[in-house]
């Protein structure tokens, strides 16, 4: 079988499994199986699919057709133009979360010195992206999962950021006691518990700990909003990813704390609620 024939058969299997972009994902998985870039793969389509690559490719195609996430198969995901390792221990970084990172970067001086914390860091995508684009920042990242922190630590080494990103195990804010922060950012779990069983099958493969936001999806915000007020310097920035219908509820929770000003909701590229921003009131 040639690489061209393998792509055609793989795309057929993926389409039958309900994958939205079967040809593209077939190319991604065949590139991974053959250890080639996609452009190099597409330039060699008349070559034969060698047995070693076939042994990786076809099981991966079958798993993807059954709903297993593409990123867990390849072990990689791009985020903020950086390459991140991902495993089933971490949430897969998404373009929606880039809205949060970009909102923070837009409000900071790229040459400024900042103390930043990312709570529930997972793969480290938010923390490491901020450290990459703010070269004078010191970043603290927390996660309750040792397995997630191992992935974040590997990403920090790979991106050359280990010296400026400190990783701590603990629940959200607990490892940050005693710090004074200029920025606190988080993509917490915000899916209501009852909605988890009806999520797309690939999303259900991701860590429940990173998805389950409690009965109404707001448990993490009830912890983060008052806790962040005690860690942020006056004028410090709080940036939280939120669910598509949670903007007003999170804004109301923040106002009830009474420690913030300029609360606002930013949309994602589809126009849905995605990012909550607020500043710590000056004393």
120 assigned ligand-binding residue: yes
DSSP string, the chain: -BHHHHHHHHHHHHHHTT-SSHHHHHHHHHHHHHT--HHHHHTTTTSB--HHHHHHHHHHHHHHHTT--HHHHHTEEEETTEEEE--TTSPPP-HHHHHHHHHHHHTS-TT---EEEEES-TTTHHHHHHHHH-TT-EEEEEES-HHHHHHHHHHHHHTT-TTTEEEEESSTTGGGTT--EEEEEE----B-GGGGGGS-TTGGGS-GGGTB--TTS-HHHHHHHHHHHTTEEEEEEEEEE--TT-HHHHHHHHHHHT-EEEEEEEE-TTSSEEEEEEEEPP-
188 assigned ligand-binding residue: yes
Neighbours of 275 (CB within 10 A): 25
Strands 181-186 and 115-119: parallel
221 assigned ligand-binding residue: no
262 assigned ligand-binding residue: no
114 assigned ligand-binding residue: no
Query: What residues does 275 pair with on adjacent strands?
Result: 241, 266
122 assigned ligand-binding residue: yes
160 assigned ligand-binding residue: no
The Cα 114–Cα 120 span in angstroms is: 19
Annotated binding-site positions for S-adenosyl-L-methionine: 120-124, 143, 172, 187
Annotated binding-site positions: 120-124, 143, 172, 187-190
Annotated binding-site positions for substrate: 187-190
């Amino acid at each position: 079988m040639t690489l061209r024939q393998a792509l055609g058969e793989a795309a057929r299997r993926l389409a039958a499994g309900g994958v939205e972009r079967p040809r593209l994902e077939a190319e991604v998985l065949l590139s991974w199986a053959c250890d080639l870039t996609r452009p190099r793969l597409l330039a060699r389509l008349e070559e034969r699919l060698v047995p070693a690559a076939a042994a990786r490719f076809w099981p991966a195609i079958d798993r993807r057709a059954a709903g297993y996430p593409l990123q867990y198969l390849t072990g990689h995901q791009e985020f903020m133009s950086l390459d991140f390792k991902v495993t089933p221990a971490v949430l897969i970084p998404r373009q929606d979360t880039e809205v949060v990172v970009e909102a923070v970067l837009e409000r900071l001086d790229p040459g400024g010195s900042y103390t930043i914390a990312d709570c529930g860091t997972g793969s480290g995508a938010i923390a490491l992206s901020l450290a990459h684009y703010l070269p004078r920042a010191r970043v603290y990242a927390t996660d309750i999962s040792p397995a997630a922190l191992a992935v974040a630590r590997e990403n920090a080494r790979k991106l050359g950021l280990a010296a400026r990103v400190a990783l701590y195990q603990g629940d959200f804010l607990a490892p940050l006691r005693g710090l004074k922060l200029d920025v606190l950012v988080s993509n917490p779990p915000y899916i209501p518990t009852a909605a988890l069983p009806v999520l797309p099958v690939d999303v259900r493969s991701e860590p429940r700990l990173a998805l389950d936001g409690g009965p109404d999806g707001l448990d993490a915000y009830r912890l983060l909003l008052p806790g962040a007020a005690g860690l942020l310097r006056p004028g410090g920035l709080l940036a939280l990813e939120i669910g598509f219908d949670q903007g007003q509820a999170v804004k109301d929770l923040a106002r009830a704390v009474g420690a913030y000003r300029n609360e606002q909701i930013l949309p994602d590229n589809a126009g849905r609620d995605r990012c909550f921003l607020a500043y710590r009131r000056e004393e």
